[in-house]
Amino acid sequence: MNAKSKLRDVVFKLSHVLEKRMDKNCKDNLLSTEEFNEWVKLHDLGRKIDPYLTLIRLAAFNLVLKTMIYEKLATYYELDDLNEKNARELLCLFDILHQKSRIFCLRKTFLDYLVEDNCSVIQNFLPQIRYLVNKIESTNEDIIGKVYEEIVPQEERRKLGQFWTPSYISNFMVSWAIRDKNSLFFDPAVGSGVFLISALNVYTQYGMDINSATSNLYGLDISPLCVLMATTNLLIRAPLVKPNIVTADFLEISKLNNPFPISSFNSIVCNPPYSRHHELDPIYKEKIAKRIKEMTGLTISRLSSSFLYFFILASQFLDRSGRMAFIMPYEAFEAFYSVPLKELLLTKLKTLKAIIFFDEKEFAFPGVETAACITLLKGSDENKEKVKFIKVEKWPGLQTLMNIIERSDKSGSFNWGHVNVLPYSAIKATHKWSIYANSRPLIVNSHLLVPLRNLAKVMRGIATGANEFFVLSDSEISKWGIEREFLKPVIMRTRDVQKYVLTIEDMEKIGQMGKKRWLFYCALDPEVLKGTKAFEYIKYGESRGYPQRSLIKLRKRWYELEKRDPPPIIFTYLTRGNARFIYNKARALALNVFLLIYPKEEIAKDEITLKALLAYLNSDIAKALLRTVGRTYGGKTLKLEPRELDALPTLDVRRLNYAIKKKLAILFDGLCHSNSKVFKEKINELVKHLLTNY
């Protein structure tokens, strides 16, 4: 059994023993405590797993890590070795070690109090723990962080946005950021300390002993357990120091309340939390945005995720001679709210050296929902001449990447990806910067292209707030007997539409398969509805508590949905490499997993012109242009908001003569009927011809 498996095995066995020892009264008392609720709220536990179970596992993990520290440091601080007898006083021993060492992570937390009456069970695992201390000391791998990922699944880490960095990426970032043995290194979101481990290796390569190197490291994390993990990783490798790692919310830190005696750092490396904007308290966001406004003059969109706040605030702690390497999602350079950040990078915010975009196939960060990139920033604002946009399709190796960034100013393609070196003057804040990293950035200049907003109105599909109530199958309609006047055909999922056209026959097949295809669509007052089956269904919904749901309770009549006409075109806006613009011949409505497109009347009323537009929208050129206005996530997933799709460069089919429109329409019909590559290729050829010759 390898070290990771053994550590996981010890934690889960120990948690099982602890759980058995906690009787029902003890559990009930625990669940009612303020400390329990605070920990659950901070870490947002309970999305998928009982938070009590997760906390028992974390308490076991906490106990194992502190025992590891004690085992490693007992001799240095002249403390008794752990044995069967004194293991019963384990928390007291931790306190004594804390008093002697003043190591921050040894302070008592809620996880300690959770098991204070049962910590003696650790005596049964002491041989395994001693083995693990030796194994972790002899490896550069972050075994502790990997086990934490198994204890707390990704869904449970969503609020704090925690995901771990592969060691080869960590080693590259840290090697680029640390330039000499005098560099002071800072990670404002340490997690399990993977960057700190990499930093130790880099410092030792500069000739430092490991204890001196550890003194150069500084870190913060909002989670006490993360601070413990990172500190454990350091102390096992360098036991003669007191690591500069404390529990704090970096977004609340300024140079006035900095917990360290250091006002700026030579090297800052971070994989910041990826907490989405809706995971953050509005008052909290407002306060952070105000601080950023005061420091930089930048107005941050309230739709920004936490990584954006981290990036901007961390740059304020970067020394003029320093370097900063940050992991960011593509969203940082693609979302509409990222324009102010890009303007700041181009004008005021230090010197942008390079952005490394990882291929969307998720090879770098498996299981993460968003495609990632690394932003490299220099502290000085001098030499703002060129930026390197690098696309990595497979890992090229640390030295290769370092040579590209430090020693080469040439664009080119390689067997691992490609590099584009662009002058600052060629980079526009309004563009999607991931496009700059493509081997052949798509440039289409044609007077026939206009923003889609010139040709059509784009709206989001209907958000019901309770699909299980508002969307019904044929059998549910029969059961309730709801009158047809209160029902509209609806498409609920992208997988229910596999072709480029949706027909009435397709809707019938969906019904025959037992799938939901009817939308309860009623805008009448209850008094008018009395005596109808629809009224009975509404009363049923009220008995189930639907009117109290967050979206629904905002409506004048809780059951009255947004007014939408059937759109001529439905767009599968959140797709994994197969975005489609669907001809809605069935005149169905669609839920908010789709975007609805309403072409101008002169297009919508003329089927030939409408099909010509659909042919262009489903061409490879249009699909490529979608990436210039949308956002890329993991696994080649592309997401577009209505206002982003508005900007899609679109063939103005109104300006084409009838013969060309007819040809495009015929090709689109062929694509609908056969989904053949032949018709797709012919559409591509004709669109390319139009955009280059007219």
More confident position, 257 or 462? 462
Assess whether pLDDT exceeds 90 at residue 627: no
545 CB-contact burial (10 Å; exposed 0-12 / middle 13-18 / buried 19+)? exposed
427, 551 in Cβ contact below 8 A? no
The pLDDT-based confidence of 587 (bands split at 50, 70, 90) is: very high
- What's the pLDDT score for residue 202? 96
Work out the mean pLDDT of the chain and round it to a whole number: 87
178, 322 in Cβ contact below 8 A? no
Which residues does 534 contact at the CB level (< 8 Å), separation at least 6? Answer: 482, 483, 486, 520, 522
The pLDDT-based confidence of 177 (bands split at 50, 70, 90) is: very high
Residues in the chain, total:
694
Q: Which helix (H) or strand (E) holds 477?
A: helix 474-480
HSE, side-chain direction, 13 A CA sphere, residue 340:
16
Report if pTM > 0.85: no
Lowest-pLDDT range of 131-140, 145-154, 299-308: 299-308
Which residues does 372 contact at the CB level (< 8 Å), separation at least 6? Answer: 327, 328, 329, 330, 358, 364, 365
- What's the pLDDT score for residue 280? 66
Assess whether pLDDT exceeds 80 at residue 301: no
- What's the pLDDT score for residue 86? 80
Question: Which amino acid is located at 479 in the chain?
Answer: K
563-585 in b/e form (b: 16+ CB < 10 A) is ebebbbbbbbbbbeeebbbbbbb
The number of beta carbons lying within 10 Å of the beta carbon of residue 192 is 27
CA dihedral 510, 512, 513, 515 (to 10 degrees): 60
More confident position, 254 or 544? 544
Mean pLDDT of 84-111: 88
Q: Which CATH number fits domain 442-461+564-694: 3.40.1000, 3.90.220, 1.10.10, 1.10.150?
A: 3.90.220
CA of 505: how far to CAs of 102, 403, 596, in Å?
Answer: 73, 59, 21
How far apart (Å, rounded) are the C-alpha atoms in residues 109 and 229?
Answer: 14
* Residue among 555, 585, 548 nearest 568 (CA): 585
The number of beta carbons lying within 10 Å of the beta carbon of residue 555 is 13
493, 513 in Cβ contact below 8 A? no
- What's the pLDDT score for residue 484? 95
CA of 627: how far to CAs of 274, 276, 340, in Å?
Answer: 22, 22, 20
**What is the gyration radius of the CA atoms in the chain, in angstroms?**
29
Residue ranges, CATH 3.90.220, the chain: 442-461+564-694
223, 58 in Cβ contact below 8 A? no
Which residues does 52 contact at the CB level (< 8 Å), separation at least 6? Answer: 27, 30, 31
* Residue among 35, 251, 89, 91 nearest 161 (CA): 251
More confident position, 313 or 54? 313
Mean pLDDT of 471-478: 96
Highest mean pLDDT among 44-48, 52-56, 181-185: 181-185
**Token pair of 455, please?**
């040709």
Q: Is 134 left (phi over 0), alpha (psi -120 to 50) or beta?
A: alpha
- What's the pLDDT score for residue 161? 44
Look up residue 335 and give its DSSP letter: S
The number of beta carbons lying within 10 Å of the beta carbon of residue 336 is 14
What does DSSP say about strands 487-491 and 589-590: parallel, antiparallel, or unpaired?
Answer: parallel
Assess whether pLDDT exceeds 50 at residue 160: no
- What's the pLDDT score for residue 334? 81
Assess whether pLDDT exceeds 80 at residue 680: yes
Assess whether pLDDT exceeds 60 at residue 564: yes
Q: Locate tokens 């009347």: which residue?
A: 601
The pLDDT-based confidence of 339 (bands split at 50, 70, 90) is: confident
Assess whether pLDDT exceeds 80 at residue 45: no
596, 459 in Cβ contact below 8 A? yes
CA of 504: how far to CAs of 528, 612, 686, in Å?
Answer: 31, 22, 30
More confident position, 288 or 185? 185
Mean pLDDT of 627-639: 67
Assess whether pLDDT exceeds 80 at residue 366: no
Query: pLDDT tens digits for 196-234?
Result: 999 999 999 999 999 999 999 999 999 999 999 999 999
Lowest-pLDDT range of 25-34, 165-174, 660-669, 685-694: 25-34
Please state, for a pLDDT cut of 90, what percent of the chain lies above it: 54
More confident position, 293 or 192? 192
Backbone φ, ψ for residue 692 (5° rounding): -105, -15
The pLDDT-based confidence of 103 (bands split at 50, 70, 90) is: very high
The pLDDT-based confidence of 154 (bands split at 50, 70, 90) is: low
How far apart (Å, rounded) are the C-alpha atoms in residues 445 and 259?
Answer: 54
DSSP 92-134: HHHHHHHHHH--GGGS--HHHHHTTTTGGGGGGGHHHHHHHHH
Query: pLDDT tens digits for 431-444?
Result: 888 888 876 655 56
* Residue among 228, 304, 235 nearest 272 (CA): 304
The pLDDT-based confidence of 529 (bands split at 50, 70, 90) is: very high
Assess whether pLDDT exceeds 60 at residue 20: yes
